[in-house]
Amino acid sequence: MNIIIDRITKEYGGRKVLDVDSLDLNEGAFCGVIGPNGSGKSTLLNIIAGLAEATSGQVFYEEYGMTEPPLKRMTMVFQTPYLLRTTVEKNIAYPLKLRGWKPQDIDNRIRELADELGLTDFLKHKNWSLSGGEAQKVALARALSFRPELLLLDEPTANIDPATTAEIERMLKKTNEEGTTVIVVTHNLVQAKRLCKETLLLNKGKVVEFGPCEKMLKNPENELTQRFIAGEILI
């Protein structure tokens, strides 16, 4: 899914927290959104997801003129997983039931995702019995169940162990290789380098630099980007 951003702003209490003039992401992009705390990363993601309304400007999905988020073809995974109070398999099945999938197709998809994410032994477990990493894998499996065209993630591995992070990253790369456009907010520059094709640096709500991930993280053009990558705190 293509994403086109045209002069997006967002204000809270008269304070402008986001001001993005333009941004184009082609279908199949894997974009990492980086920047200091309070730079507008999550706000931008929430606007693209349709969870927040821009004060001005517009997000276009697929092409100019299509402004309504195609919710049946997109999904979002949060830093803290929000699961239904039921079993793992019922959590994964939920989006498929909403979309009218046949029971056998639902079961096949659950088994496929459980195998890929190491959840097979947990399918009958209740959500409250899971560790943080297990719950995040369930949230990702549920998000991927219907093969979305746009996947948005807000710090999906911030509070989980390295082994689970590796499993999630492997699944995200596979999903992107199959054609899904992925946008991920991350504080982890090494993770962005491992995963992303493009990187966007936000600071004080504005785009500082946007471009190919490897080039931007190794040889940034903007002084602010250089300072941020070097570990300096941007104020």
Across the range 79-95, mean pLDDT stands at: 94
- How far, in Å, CA of 218 to CA of 221, rounded? 10
* 136 close to 157: Cβ distance less than 8 angstroms: yes
Q: Has residue 133 been placed in a domain?
A: yes
Q: Has residue 101 been placed in a domain?
A: yes
Give the closest residue to 181 by CA, choosing from 140, 214, 152. 152
Which structure tokens are listed for 157?
């591995």
Q: Has residue 7 been placed in a domain?
A: no
**Number of domains making up the chain:** 1
Give the closest residue to 159 by CA, choosing from 184, 183, 188. 188
Is the pLDDT at 52 greater than 70? The verdict is: yes
DSSP string, 2-43: -EEEEEEEEEETTEEEEEEEEEEE-TT-EEEEE-STTSSHHH
Strands 74-77, 150-154: pairing kind: parallel
Q: Has residue 174 been placed in a domain?
A: yes
- How far, in Å, CA of 217 to CA of 209, rounded? 11
Q: What is the pLDDT of residues 216-233, one digit of tens each?
A: 988 998 999 998 888 877
* 74 close to 149: Cβ distance less than 8 angstroms: yes
What pLDDT is recorded for position 77? 95
pLDDT band at 18 (very low <50, low <70, confident <90, very high): very high
User: What is the value of pTM for the model shown?
Assistant: 0.94
Q: Has residue 14 been placed in a domain?
A: no
Q: Has residue 16 been placed in a domain?
A: no
Other CB atoms within a 10 A radius of the CB of residue 49 amount to 18
Is the pLDDT at 65 greater than 80? The verdict is: no
**Segment among 62-71, 111-120, 158-167, 182-191 with least mean pLDDT:** 62-71
Q: Has residue 63 been placed in a domain?
A: no
DSSP, collapsed to helix, strand or coil, labels residue 216 as: helix
What pLDDT is recorded for position 233? 72
What pLDDT is recorded for position 69? 87
Across the range 61-85, mean pLDDT stands at: 88
DSSP assignment letter at 79: S
Give the closest residue to 118 by CA, choosing from 94, 136, 93. 136
User: How would you write 149-194 as a 3-class SS string?
Assistant: CEEEEECCCCCCCHHHHHHHHHHHHHHHHCCCEEEEECCCHHHHHH
Is the pLDDT at 234 greater than 80? The verdict is: no
pLDDT band at 235 (very low <50, low <70, confident <90, very high): low
Q: Indicate which CATH number applies to the domain containing 163.
A: 3.40.50.300
Across the range 107-130, mean pLDDT stands at: 95
Print the domain residue range for 131: 30-39+70-229
Cα distances from 21 to residues 34, 46, 186, 225, in angstroms, run 17, 17, 22, 18
Q: Has residue 25 been placed in a domain?
A: no
What pLDDT is recorded for position 64? 67
